[in-house]
Amino acid sequence: MITFFGALLFLVLGYALYSKFIEKVFGVDDNTPTPAYTKRDNLDFMPMSWWKGNLIQLLNIAGLGPIYGAVAGALYGPVAFIWIVVGCIFAGGVHDYFSGMMSLRHGGAQFPTIVGKYLGKHMKLFINGISLVLMLLVAAAFTAGPAQLISQISPLSFMAALALIFFYFILATILPINRIIGRIYPLLGGILLFMAVSVAVALVFSGKPMPNLTLANLHPGELPIWPLLMVTISCGAISGFHCTQSPIIACTMKKETDGRKIFYGAMVIEGIIALIWAAAGMTFFNGTTGLQAALAAGGPSGVVNEISISLLGSMGGILAILGVIILPITTGDTALRSSRMIVTDILSKFTDMEGKWKVLLVTIPLAIPTFYLSTIDYTFLWRYVGWTNQVVATVMLWTATVFLLRSYKFHWISGVPASFMTGVVSTYIFYAPEGLNMDYQISMIIGSCITLVVLLWYAVQIIKYRSLKASDSEYAA
């Protein structure tokens, strides 16, 4: 129990202290008008209060990610607590803050546009493709599960439930952000928080001993911690999907100082939710062996349902159903909305079409492949979400690093986690079954070599911008 409360304290301190340092390095200015005012269109660009922005951002980035991912990551034992805390404070919080604030500074620009500005047009082209693939996979993966549950507890068939969800998706994507998302998301964000806090309180008073810190790998299947844990627990630590969602809220911010509360704050809340569910998974089933058996029997949804009902009774059952149905849908709809905004940004260079027709014509072609993907195996989709998600996160951290280098600011705050995540994704792609499925030791060697090449590039960039800074100082003198 000491480990759990210690980790919780570190997350709170991370927000109270480190987020302020990140904000200071970035340099906020409330005198600068935000895109919510300068580009107001009453569709995507319009001012909203910071607390609404925080709760909407939380729903956008969370869904069931910090629940399902944390439960699966709990198989590794209490070492998962370390990754959630360190990843959230030093990687995920930085990632989310910069993705939102850089979008704000560039007029509400979408993630691929920001990447192109700092990492070049070739990387922009690559990230355009992989971001769209990631969001369509997320929207599809987070639709299939709720549709299956709806078909089980109602007269609707799976396809009818799927069609109903996608009708909502299209409405949420094409309507102004304050019509649906701005009205119901703060309430749903409150439900997500209430569910997590209720589970935490019930767990503490359940009498079951919470595991204390150990660096040992307790995974019953003896899967390696590196790099699998860092991909298994993404939501709650660092997730590339977040940087595709942050521009949605950047377009609604009233002032720059709200960014710390919205972006870094939502990431820390998500980290706390992940911490609670990781602890619940380890504790409720009396260790990782029991948890593995529960996951094999009922999957993540079965584990969440059993924990919720056992700890919270009938209220827990209602919350579990709400969570498994509503929370993934609230991530799927904004994934589709973000896809629409990215494609609209791309097409703006080739067409002058404006208004609702443009929004609708972009949305429908995106919804069709997503609908199809929703009909295939959920576990197949989720395997590919994992590595594409962390590749996107790594690219965002390197984008923030170049931004700080160009600004002659303390680039290590993003450069260090970017280097770490480069090692994670470089190794994972070669080792994982959905990657090249190579031998672990060979994957480690190749991943290390790729990481070394990227670090050499980083060193060259540091030297380059130090020289430019020195030249600028001499010129100013």
Quickly tell me which residue has 């549709």 as its tokens. Answer: 147
- Least Cα distance to 338 among 229, 250, 210, 466 occurs for 250
**pTM to 2 decimal places:** 0.92
- DSSP codes, 114-147: HHHHHH-HHHHHHHHHHHHHHHHHHHHHHHHHHH
Question: Which pLDDT value is given to residue 265?
Answer: 97
Q: Which two structure tokens, joined as six digits, stand for 53? A: 């922005």
Q: What is the largest CA-CA distance in the chain?
A: 77
Domain spans in the chain, listed from the N-terminal domain onward: 2-476
Alpha carbon distance 192, 183 (integer Å): 16
Element (H, E) at 291: helix 288-347
Of how many residues is the chain composed? 477
Residues 104 and 107: their CA atoms lie apart, in Å, by 5
**Residue stretches of the chain with pLDDT short of 50:** none
Helix (H, G, I), strand (E, B) or coil at 351: coil
Of the options 1.10.10.1100, 1.20.1740.10, 3.40.50.620, 3.40.50.720, the CATH number for the domain spanning 2-476: 1.20.1740.10
428 in Cβ contact with 228 (< 8 Å): yes
User: What pLDDT, on the 0 to 100 scale, is given for residue 28?
Assistant: 96
Tally the C-alpha atoms within 13 A of residue 321's C-alpha that lie toward its C-beta.
Answer: 12
Nearest partner of 393 among 229, 244, 226, judged by Cα: 244
Tens-place pLDDT, residues 276-331: 999 999 999 989 999 999 999 887 878 888 888 888 887 777 777 776 677 778 77
Distance CA 164, CA 450 (A): 45
